Amino acid sequence: MSGTEQGQGVPEPRPGDAAHRVICQQVVELLGDYLEGGLDEPVRTDVDAHLEACPECRLFLEQLELTVTMIGELPAPEELDPGTLELLVMTFRDVTGRG
């Protein structure tokens, strides 16, 4: 398999259909290359088949993609974090009693 090394004691995949050629514990290692387009065939097809059959791994992948998206959306360091301005204005109104 191309890509990352397996952790110690990772069981061998069972023979059978493509979804079982890779197991969850291997899939999570392979998803890095999967996301970056670095997985060779036939492993890529095996991972696709596994993801179709395995809701937990699908969820893991979606959450990984969401993580990447959110990291990309982080405000630049020169911007105030979301919610801070509102908090400050609210406090200002409370303290000055007007607004």
Partner 1 sequence: MNSRAIDRPPRAPDDRDPADRAPDDRAPDDDAVLLARLRAGDAEAFAGVVKAWSPQMLRFARGFVATDASAQEVVQETWLGVIRGLPRFEGRSQLRTWVYSILANQARRRGVTDRRTVPMSSLAARDDDGPVVDPDRFLPAGDPWAGSWRDERAPAAWGPEAQLLSGEVVTLLRQALETLPPRQREVLVLRDVQGYSADEVAEQLGLATGNVRVLLHRARTKVRERLEAYHLGLPPAAAGAMTGGGA
| 88 lies in the binding site for partner 1 (CB under 8 A) | yes
Out of 28, 44, 48, 49, point to the residue binding partner 1 (CB under 8 A). 28
Choice between 23 and 48, CB closer to partner 1: 23
Tokens 């670095």, located at residue: 38
Structural contact between residues 14 and 2, judged by C-beta atoms closer than 8 angstroms: no
Restricting to residues 63-82, name those near partner 1 by CB under 8 A: 63-64, 66-68, 70-82
Structural contact between residues 12 and 20, judged by C-beta atoms closer than 8 angstroms: no
Out of 40, 45, 52, 91, point to the residue binding partner 1 (CB under 8 A). 91
State how far the Cα of 96 lies from the Cα of 99, in Å rounded to an integer: 7
